[in-house]
Structure formats: C-alpha cells, structure tokens
Amino acid sequence: MSITAISSRSLIAVAGLALSAFASAAATAPSGNYKIDPAHSVAYFEVGHMGGISRFMGRFNDMNGDLVLDAPAKSTIKVEIKTASIDTKHEGLDKHLKSPDFFNAVQFPSLTFNSTAISLNGAGEGTVAGNLSLHGVTKPVTLKLKQIGSGKGMKGETRVGYVATGSVKRTDFGMGYGVPGAATDEVDLRINIEAIKQ
C-alpha cells in the first residue's frame, strides 16, 4: 500500500467524522426544562464609537434564565441580564455606561428577553422572536438563533448550547444620550447560552 493511498483513506475518514459531528451538533436537543449555566453563558454587545469610527465591545457577566425545549412552537427562552455586571475592561467606561446616560443600572437593574416564537430548521438554525425589556421599555425583537450542540457534562447532566444574534436601536429603548457622537444608535447583540437540563 502506497503512502498516497493511506493518506487518501485517512482524509476520507476524517471528513466522515467531521460530518457526523456536525450532524450531531445540529440534532434536536433533548426536550425538557433547562436552566442557563451562568459560568458558560455571556451576553456581548458591540457598538460604533464616535459616530462609527471604530467598533468596541462589552459584555454582561451576570446572566440567568430558563429554557423549555420541546417542539419549536412549544419551546421558550427566558433570559435575565444584570445591567450592573457590564464589563468593557475599562473601569471608567463601565461607570459611565451604568449611569443614567446609558443603562441607568440603579433604576433598571436588569434587562430581560422573553421569547414568544421560536423557529428552527433541521440544521438547527432559525429565529427567536420575543420581548426585550431594557431601560424601562419593552419592545418586540427578533434574533437569529443557532443551536450549537447538545451533550453530556462531566456529571452526566444534559447540556445544550445556543447563540442568538441581532441588532437593536438604543433610541427605541429611550437610551438616546450621545447618539451618534458618543456611540451609534445601532447596537449588535450576541448572546451565548449554555443550559443544563433540570
């Protein structure tokens, strides 16, 4: 057997393994009630600075919530994020973002998202529509949803992972200070969720 023949078979085997792993990741997660694992879940935001000369990112470190996984029509996602947990790796900016100029974290200590409709295709991709409550204002938003995978944790518990992405306008939520000079109106969101079956 030539070296070339071995290499070709190995490549086919590796490709086959990769495809089966992808198929497994996209498979429907086991139905049931799940709690968000705060250690492995985080919500990011990205916004244009000074009218959009650059993009800067921040995240919220404190997030919790529940998922009910069933057929998409019966599934729900509830997320609560503590606004005071905002983290831009810059103390001064964090303090300013918590002030009434932006999140007003004392008066509005949490932002929440409650789904109203979920749709996912066979590849685990789709949308989640729901109500986003931020800065004392509740508005319907639709985010792209992707199921990342599901499997067993170290203690045998069932875990699932999702990523939701989308954009909102902060002025829609009464957060209009410094638009667009300090930060652009459009804010991109990315919510990475890992949840544990209860």
Pair 29, 40: CB distance under 8 Å? no
Question: How near is the Cβ of 93 to other proteins at its closest, in Å?
Answer: 5
Q: Counting contacts by CB under 8 A, is residue 153 touching other proteins?
A: no
| Shorter beta-carbon distance to other proteins: residue 147 or 184 | 184
Burial of residue 38 (number of CB atoms within 10 Å: 0-12, 13-18, 19+): middle
Q: Cβ contacts of residue 153 below 8 Å, gap of 6+?
A: 159, 196
Euclidean distance between CA atoms 70 and 72, whole angstroms = 6
Question: Which one, of 116, 111, 113, lies nearest residue 98 by Cα?
Answer: 111
Q: Counting contacts by CB under 8 A, is residue 52 touching other proteins?
A: no
Name residue 190's beta-bridge partners: 44, 165
Q: Counting contacts by CB under 8 A, is residue 100 touching other proteins?
A: yes
Question: How near is the Cβ of 34 to other proteins at its closest, in Å?
Answer: 28
Binding other proteins (rule: CB under 8 A), the pick from 59, 135, 159, 197 is 135
Q: Counting contacts by CB under 8 A, is residue 178 touching other proteins?
A: yes
Question: How near is the Cβ of 182 to other proteins at its closest, in Å?
Answer: 8
For other proteins, the binding residues (CB under 8 A) are 90-93, 95-96, 98-101, 104, 106-107, 109, 135-137, 171, 174-179, 181-182
